[in-house]
């Protein structure tokens, strides 16, 4: 069931390299090719330190690839990706703004009158279940609540592409499931293209249409691409009980496992050196 329509994000042989402090060049990602169709939810899974987030930053335009090309809706990407909303792993809310101001800012900077921006921000806070917390500053909210505000902050701008970098990583297991369901609910309303990075294979299968596996770094490559044909709408906690889910999990894990071990060995060696 190949989706028709334009390709939202296309990476062609994207290579990302960093110059280290001692002058050597570290190749994080080597010749990664990936296409995310309009309305498609793609999860990238890989061992720690494999350059998943690096790849996401390339798609966002925060990082320039050393080689290869990035195209957004068939246009070569120059500078920042204006079509994308980015949900960061770490806290990225402005600590000096209240929840509602954090959400409204994305509209205000494009010239939306403040009154209208606040009204729409209040609506979005309601959609993420924080209608009563508009006046709170980020430090007065729990980790899960901050993620909800961040989600509203990104979605209020109605980006065509959603880039998510382990957004639920710092949350506890229950909150992650709730946030996952919230994300699916909001996403199913208007099906944006999503590129979702995680190290949690179960989360990836439960959320995505496609799961892409990356090898351990350095010079990480894309080594697998699975279509997840589980029916939608899904409930994160229930979909995990299904037989198809287990079959997919076993199949993908057999590939991922070796890379995780490689990544683990490398990280311990790097620690010893």
Footprint on this chain of another protein (rule: CB under 8 A): 60, 62, 80-82, 84-86, 88, 90-98, 105-106, 109-110, 137-140, 153-154, 157
> Least distance (Å) from another protein to the CB of residue 73?
17
> Least distance (Å) from another protein to the CB of residue 163?
8
Nearer to another protein, 72 or 260 (CB): 72
> Least distance (Å) from another protein to the CB of residue 25?
22
Nearest Cα residue to 239 out of 247, 261, 28, 20:
247
Nearer to another protein, 49 or 138 (CB): 138
Nearer to another protein, 34 or 93 (CB): 93
> Least distance (Å) from another protein to the CB of residue 86?
4
> Least distance (Å) from another protein to the CB of residue 18?
15
- Within 8 A by CB and 6+ apart from 255, the residues are 213, 223, 224
Rounded to whole angstroms, what are the CA distances from 160 to 53, 95, 128, 257?
A: 19, 27, 19, 33
What CA–CA distance (Å, rounded) separates 80 from 69?
Answer: 14
What CA–CA distance (Å, rounded) separates 170 from 192?
Answer: 24
Nearer to another protein, 138 or 263 (CB): 138
> Least distance (Å) from another protein to the CB of residue 115?
18
Nearer to another protein, 90 or 132 (CB): 90
Query: What are the backbone dihedrals phi and psi of residue 26, each rounded to the nearest 5 degrees, phi first?
Result: -105, 120
Residue 125 near residue 149, CB atoms below 8 Å = yes
Q: How many CB atoms are located within 10 Å of the residue 231 CB?
A: 8
Helix H, strand E, coil C: the string for 5-46 is CCEEEEEEEEEEEEECCCCCEEEEEEEEEEEEECCCEEEEEC
Nearer to another protein, 5 or 143 (CB): 143
Query: What are the backbone dihedrals phi and psi of residue 77, each rounded to the nearest 5 degrees, phi first?
Result: -85, 120
Q: How many CB atoms are located within 10 Å of the residue 83 CB?
A: 17
Nearer to another protein, 4 or 110 (CB): 110
What CA–CA distance (Å, rounded) separates 181 from 239?
Answer: 11
> Least distance (Å) from another protein to the CB of residue 139?
4
């Amino acid at each position: 069931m190949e989706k028709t329509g334009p390709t939202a994000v296309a990476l062609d042989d994207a290579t990302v390299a960093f110059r280290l402090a001692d002058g050597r060049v570290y190749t994080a990602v080597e010749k990664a090719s990936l296409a995310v169709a309009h309305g498609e939810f793609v999860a990238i899974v890989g061992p720690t330190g494999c350059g998943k987030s690096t790849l996401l930053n390339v798609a966002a335009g925060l990082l320039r690839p050393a080689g290869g090309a990035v195209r957004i809706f068939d246009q070569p990407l120059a500078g920042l990706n204006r079509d994308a909303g980015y949900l960061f792993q770490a806290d990225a809310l402005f600590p000096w703004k209240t929840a509602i101001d954090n959400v409204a800012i994305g509209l205000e900077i494009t010239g939306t009158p403040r009154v209208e921006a606040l009204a729409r921000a209040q609506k979005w806070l309601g959609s993420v279940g924080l209608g009563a917390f508009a006046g709170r500053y980020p430090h007065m909210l729990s980790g899960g609540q901050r993620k909800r505000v961040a989600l509203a902050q990104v979605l209020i701008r109605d980006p065509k592409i959603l880039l998510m970098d382990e957004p639920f990583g710092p949350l506890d297991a229950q909150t992650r499931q709730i946030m996952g369901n919230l994300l699916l609910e909001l996403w199913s309303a208007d099906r944006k293209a999503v590129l979702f990075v995680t190290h949690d294979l179960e989360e990836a299968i439960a959320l995505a249409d496609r799961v892409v596996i990356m090898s351990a770094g350095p010079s990480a490559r894309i080594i697998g691409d699975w279509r997840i044909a589980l029916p939608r709408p899904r409930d994160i906690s229930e979909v995990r009980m299904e037989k198809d889910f287990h079959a997919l999990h076993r199949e993908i894990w057999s590939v991922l496992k070796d890379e995780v071990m490689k990544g683990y060995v490398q990280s311990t060696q790097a620690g010893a050196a």
